[in-house]
A and B are shown apart, each in its own frame.
Chain A
Amino acid sequence: MLLELTGISKRFGPVEVLSDVDLAIDAGEVCALVGDNGAGKSTLVKCVAGIHSVDGGEVRVDGEVRAISSPRDAAGLGIEVVYQDLALCDNLDVVENLFLGREKRRGILLDDDAMEQLAAETLSSLAVRTIRNLRQPVASLSGGQRQTVAIAKAVLWNSRLVILDEPTAALGVAQTRQVLELIRRLADQGLAVLYISHNLNDVFAVADRIAALYLGRMAAVLDAADTTQSQVVELITSGRSGQLGLTDQNGVRP
């Protein structure tokens, strides 16, 4: 397992936002994280990304216990969070954005041609055909294209786990489809993807496994192939569905 969370809990003052959450994500799979507002999705993501520290439980990367206490720690372990719009500089072009902070150089000179070539290869390996001119400023791109650039950056930088928090929330229908296909391709190339979404269609379109959070607890982690939409809806809204889901302390379903 690339990433393994066991017994994660997190409190904000008296409020227990996450309680005893288990989740494992392997390379090459998309794990969708679903749950109602306030179920703890964002908190869980922030714990993995190093923005929050956990109050209890273990985070294992490649089977080894790791402390992730800052975004830098997370990045060092190959965990990359793709933020909606914060990640790109509008006045720079696509190549410049992709390599920002990790520019390739020849001596003290920037090697723009090498960067452009590498960017083109990366985008074509992801079958991205929507961005034709790599030298256009990011400001002139559509929302879907911007999201594509942000995601491609994660691939280019050899991240191993990419976390996407509602990447299609602000996109139109056609652009959503492009981003969904891109997410699927990330996993097919061997990256692990943790994908947070409200839209069950989007979840089913890309996910291999679906993890449902209910009031800070992990209701169930299911194979997408064995799951139906109504089961997931029940897990999100009541924490259980038939034999699946949470039981209370005495083994009685809440």
Chain B
Amino acid sequence: MARTGTEELRRRNRAALVEQLHRHGPQTRAELTEALGLNRSTIGALAADLAESGYVQETTGRSTGSAGRPSTLAECVPKAATVTAVEVRVDRVRFALVGLGGEVLERAETELDGADPVDAIETVTGGTARDALEAVAAVPGLVDAGSVAHSTELGWTGRDLAADLAAATGRAWQVVDTATAAAVGEWSRGDAHESTKLLYLHGGRGLTAGLVVDGRAQRGGSIQLGHIVVEPGGRECACGLRGCLEAEMEVFGYAEDIEHATLAAGMGDAAARDGLRRSGEDLGRALGAVVTATGPDEILFGGWLRELYLATAAPVRSALAETTLPHLRSRLRLRTPVLGDEGALIGAAETGFATVIDRMR
């Protein structure tokens, strides 16, 4: 009994050490001791153990310029565990092979030109998808258990993407929605690691949102923000409902051109300014419903919603203040993402690494 206990403890500590180095980069033993709350000899034994199995290597750190002997740094061996990350967009597929510690080993991008994304993924990942420990695809839309329930952007309804990808590439895939992936990315590699319930809004050709709890993707965390009804009986939406956010939001029609709209508004175009204001109010109201339902502590405005939010923060926050309960909004932070365009691909890779590290425990 006792033996299994220590063995299990050791596995947990190993996983914790790998996770620490993966997320925070090369560190000295002293830093690891402090961060993990283990004693120094344990860290030494773990590091030696992990070095033997090839996950970690110890190197002489670069000198800081001051006197004194340079300290030994432990760092991940990127090739020891790799993850294939793919982001599907309406017109292209982006791919990265990421090693433990976050180093990008390969990356590629291919235009779709009307081809099926699954075929494009098979080509773009080449032989590497097979060797990676995990493969993760980020897709814009409503995703549940590997299948895409609805995607305005790709025009899919109920496609079992995980199965299709497995058939095409001969390995298992995880499928997450783009907003959730970006949320994972911002939490693990961006500026949102203090958030326990992070909501990421993604503005692409459709509006989606992803909720992650403690940096982990949740089943049911994929939210169809664009199809929340903000105007009952309003304009008809492509999805069949009436008064959806996507149908009501004036700037949605020229979302790709949000730059133009904000520029015109900035130069004093009254029509553009009104359009932006109403769009901000619509977004704020839809957001009010999501906040009331899920209670996040931080919201990130990604994709073109970043531009929209920074240009219309006043109506967005006013509408949010009018449609949510005080205890929900008082500790709510509204922010813009720091990883920009890269968030979803980074997050897809991090989703894979979360699984890899979980398996070590």
Give yes or no for direct A-B contact (beta carbon below 8 Å). yes
Residues in chain A within 8 A of chain B (CB atoms): 114, 127, 129, 172-174, 176-177, 180-181, 184-185, 188, 200-206, 223-230, 232
Query: Do A177 and B318 contact each other (CB < 8 Å), given the known contacts A172-B266, A223-B330?
Result: no
Complex Cα spacing A129 to B310, Å: 18
Q: Is B307 an interface residue (CB 8 A)?
A: yes
Q: Which of B65, B263, B340 contacts A173 (CB 8 A)?
A: B263
Q: Which of A174, A185, A188 contacts B259 (CB 8 A)?
A: A174
Verify A224–B259 contact, CB threshold 8 A: no
> For residue B273, which residue of chain A has the nearest CB?
A201
Complex Cα spacing A143 to B266, Å: 16
> For residue B322, which residue of chain A has the nearest CB?
A228
* Residues of chain A contacted by B311 (CB below 8 angstroms): 173, 177, 201
Complex Cα spacing A226 to B316, Å: 12
Verify A127–B310 contact, CB threshold 8 A: no
Complex Cα spacing A172 to B191, Å: 26
Verify B332–A225 contact, CB threshold 8 A: yes
Of the listed residues B263, B314, B315, the one surrounded by the most CB atoms of chain A closer than 10 A to its CB is B314
Q: Is B313 an interface residue (CB 8 A)?
A: yes
Instruction: Report the minimal beta-carbon distance from A202 to chain B, rounded to whole angstroms.
Output: 7
> For residue B190, which residue of chain A has the nearest CB?
A127
* Residues of chain A contacted by B262 (CB below 8 angstroms): 173
Verify B321–A225 contact, CB threshold 8 A: yes
B172-193 to A contact mask, C-beta < 8 Å, 1/0: 0000000000000000000100
* Residues of chain A contacted by B320 (CB below 8 angstroms): 225
Q: Which of B191, B263, B314, B321 contacts A203 (CB 8 A)?
A: B314
Verify B318–A228 contact, CB threshold 8 A: yes
Query: Do A181 and B336 contact each other (CB < 8 Å), given the known contacts A173-B263, A226-B329, A227-B321?
Result: yes
> For residue B318, which residue of chain A has the nearest CB?
A228
Q: Is B216 an interface residue (CB 8 A)?
A: no
> For residue A232, which residue of chain B has the nearest CB?
B314
Given pairs A173-B266, A180-B310, 19 additional interface contacts (CB within 8 A): A127-B338, A173-B263, A184-B336, A185-B191, A201-B311, A201-B312, A201-B314, A202-B313, A205-B314, A206-B313, A225-B321, A225-B329, A226-B329, A226-B330, A228-B317, A228-B318, A229-B314, A229-B315, A230-B318
Complex Cα spacing A229 to B321, Å: 10
* Top-3 shortest CB links A-B: A205-B313, A228-B318, A204-B313
Complex Cα spacing A127 to B312, Å: 22
Complex Cα spacing A203 to B316, Å: 12
Kindly identify, within residues 232 to 291 of chain B, every residue whose CB is under 8 Å from any CB belonging to chain A. 259, 262-263, 266
Complex Cα spacing A249 to B315, Å: 34
Instruction: Report the minimal beta-carbon distance from A64 to chain B, rounded to whole angstroms.
Output: 29
Complex Cα spacing A197 to B311, Å: 14
* Residues of chain B contacted by A177 (CB below 8 angstroms): 306-307, 310-311
Complex Cα spacing A200 to B336, Å: 18
Q: Is B150 an interface residue (CB 8 A)?
A: no
Complex Cα spacing A188 to B190, Å: 13
> For residue B263, which residue of chain A has the nearest CB?
A173
Complex Cα spacing A203 to B312, Å: 10
Verify B329–A229 contact, CB threshold 8 A: no
* Residues of chain A contacted by B317 (CB below 8 angstroms): 204, 224-225, 227-229
Complex Cα spacing A129 to B266, Å: 23
Q: Is B114 an interface residue (CB 8 A)?
A: no
- In the complex, 5 of the A-B residue pairs with CB atoms within 8 angstroms, ordered by the A residue number, are A114-B65, A180-B310, A188-B335, A225-B329, A227-B321
* Residues of chain B contacted by A224 (CB below 8 angstroms): 317
* Residues of chain A contacted by B314 (CB below 8 angstroms): 200-201, 203-205, 229, 232
* Residues of chain B contacted by A129 (CB below 8 angstroms): 340
Complex Cα spacing A226 to B329, Å: 8
Complex Cα spacing A185 to B190, Å: 12
* Residues of chain A contacted by B307 (CB below 8 angstroms): 177
Verify B330–A225 contact, CB threshold 8 A: yes
Verify B313–A226 contact, CB threshold 8 A: no
Verify B318–A229 contact, CB threshold 8 A: yes
Q: Is B309 an interface residue (CB 8 A)?
A: yes
Instruction: Report the minimal beta-carbon distance from A114 to chain B, rounded to whole angstroms.
Output: 7
> For residue A172, which residue of chain B has the nearest CB?
B266
Q: Which of A184, A205, A206, A228 contacts B321 (CB 8 A)?
A: A228
Complex Cα spacing A188 to B262, Å: 26
Q: Is B5 an interface residue (CB 8 A)?
A: no
> For residue A173, which residue of chain B has the nearest CB?
B266
Query: Do A226 and B309 contact each other (CB < 8 Å), given the known contacts A127-B338, A184-B335?
Result: no
Q: Is B326 an interface residue (CB 8 A)?
A: yes
* Residues of chain A contacted by B316 (CB below 8 angstroms): 204
Complex Cα spacing A225 to B316, Å: 11
Complex Cα spacing A230 to B315, Å: 9
Verify A201–B191 contact, CB threshold 8 A: no
Instruction: Report the minimal beta-carbon distance from B190 to chain A, rounded to whole angstroms.
Output: 8
Verify A201–B313 contact, CB threshold 8 A: yes
Complex Cα spacing A66 to B338, Å: 38
Of the listed residues B311, B322, B326, the one surrounded by the most CB atoms of chain A closer than 10 A to its CB is B311
* Residues of chain A contacted by B326 (CB below 8 angstroms): 226
Complex Cα spacing A227 to B262, Å: 23
* Residues of chain A contacted by B330 (CB below 8 angstroms): 223, 225-226
* Residues of chain B contacted by A181 (CB below 8 angstroms): 310, 336
Instruction: Report the minimal beta-carbon distance from A142 to chain B, rounded to whole angstroms.
Output: 15
Of the listed residues B65, B266, B317, B320, the one surrounded by the most CB atoms of chain A closer than 10 A to its CB is B317
Instruction: Report the minimal beta-carbon distance from B314 to chain A, rounded to whole angstroms.
Output: 4
* Residues of chain B contacted by A114 (CB below 8 angstroms): 65
> For residue A208, which residue of chain B has the nearest CB?
B333
Complex Cα spacing A34 to B23, Å: 41
